[in-house]
Chain A
Amino acid sequence: MSSGAAESIEFLVREAQSGDVRAFEMLYRRTSDRVYSVCLRMSADPEQATELVQDVFVRVWEKLASFRGDSQFTTWLHRLTINLVLQERRSRARREAREFGCADLDHFGREARRSMPGTRVDLERAIAALPDKARRVLVLRDVEGYKYDEIAQMTGVTLGTVKAQIHRARGLVKEALA
Chain B
Amino acid sequence: MTEHVSMARMNDALDALLTAAETDALESHILRCSVCRDDYARLSETVTALRGLARSATVPDEAWAGIAARIGTEGRAKTGAADADVVLRLPTGMAPPRSRRLFFSVPQLAAAAVVVSMLSAGTVWMALGAPAGADFPAAEVALEPLGGAAARAVSTRGARYVEVVVELEQILEEGRAVLAPETLVTIEESLTILEAAIEEIRSALARDPNSDLLLRMLANQERTKLGVLRRAVAAVQAQI
Contacts and interface: CB of A to CB of B under 8 A. Distances in A.
Interface residues of A, number: 53
B46 A173 contact: yes
B166 interface: no
A123 B123 CA distance: 54
A32 B47 contact: no
A37 interface: yes
Interface size class of B (residues with CB under 8 A): 35 or more
Interface in A1-21: 3-4, 21
A163 B55 CA distance: 22
A24 B68 CA distance: 10
A123 B53 contact: yes
Nearest to A46: B60
Q: Is the interface of A mostly helix, strand, loop or mixed?
A: helix
Nearest to A117: B58
Interface stretch (A52-60, A65-73, A99-107): A52-60
A118 B54 contact: yes
B86 to A, nearest CB: 12
Contact of B59 (A22, A35, A58, A178): A35
A28 B65 CA distance: 12
A131 interface: no
Given A33-B56, A35-B59, A51 B101 contact: yes
Given A36-B59, A118-B54, A138-B50, A21 B7 contact: no
Contact of B57 (A40, A55, A58): A40
B182 interface: no
Given A21-B71, A33-B59, A53-B59, A173 B101 contact: no
A98 interface: no
A73 B7 CA distance: 38
A150 B83 CA distance: 38
Interface string A112-139: 1011101110011001000000000010
Contacts of B63: 32, 36, 50, 53-54
Given A21-B71, A58-B70, A123-B49, A174 B42 contact: yes
B21 interface: no
19 contacts: A4-B83, A21-B68, A29-B82, A32-B59, A36-B58, A37-B57, A54-B63, A61-B71, A61-B72, A118-B54, A142-B47, A143-B51, A143-B55, A144-B55, A163-B8, A163-B11, A170-B47, A173-B46, A177-B49
